[in-house]
Amino acid sequence: MAHCTYIFLDFRNNELWEYRHIPCVRYFAMIPMAENVIEIDQSNFDSTLKANPKLVVDCWAAWCGPCRMIGPIIERMAKEYSGKVAFAKLNVDENPQLSQTYRIMAIPTLLFFKDGKVVDQIVGLVPKEEIEEVMRRKL
């Protein structure tokens, strides 16, 4: 039996949630999604870079529609690449200093770090295959 999956952003605490409608049972299940994605901010950014030689940072904001659309892609990739590449989310509204440091002018922006240095970036909503191509070439 097929399941329908809906992705929502809980604006109360900026968490992504997955709602699965299971037809035979007819209820909605709410499951937190950010288990494999590191939430970074000014306080843990440097330590996260040092701890993860291959890191993809999703720079986003709660009000950004394309950011909410790329979020589930990042979640799935974090699960698929677990142990190989780390994935993190950086809220640009809550961390303006980091946004300035990395010259984030538009969101979503994906920053690709290798050994603590930015090796590439993607601006805008892109398919998973494009993200994987950059990862293959640069990480």
Task: Detail the DSSP E strand segments found in the chain.
Answer: 4-10, 15-22, 27-32, 37-40, 54-60, 86-91, 109-114, 117-123
Instruction: Compute and round to an integer the Cα radius of gyration of the chain.
Output: 16
3-state secondary structure of 93: coil
The question of whether 4 is a catalytic residue gets the answer no
Q: Name residues whose C-beta falls within 8 Å of residue 31's C-beta, 6 or more positions apart in sequence.
A: 17, 18, 19, 20
Phi and psi at residue 61, to the nearest 5°: -150, 150
**Given 4, 24, 59, 67, the catalytic residue:** 67
Cβ distance 78 to 36 under 8 Å? yes
Known catalytic membership, residue 67: yes
Give the residue numbers marked as catalytic. Answer: 64, 67
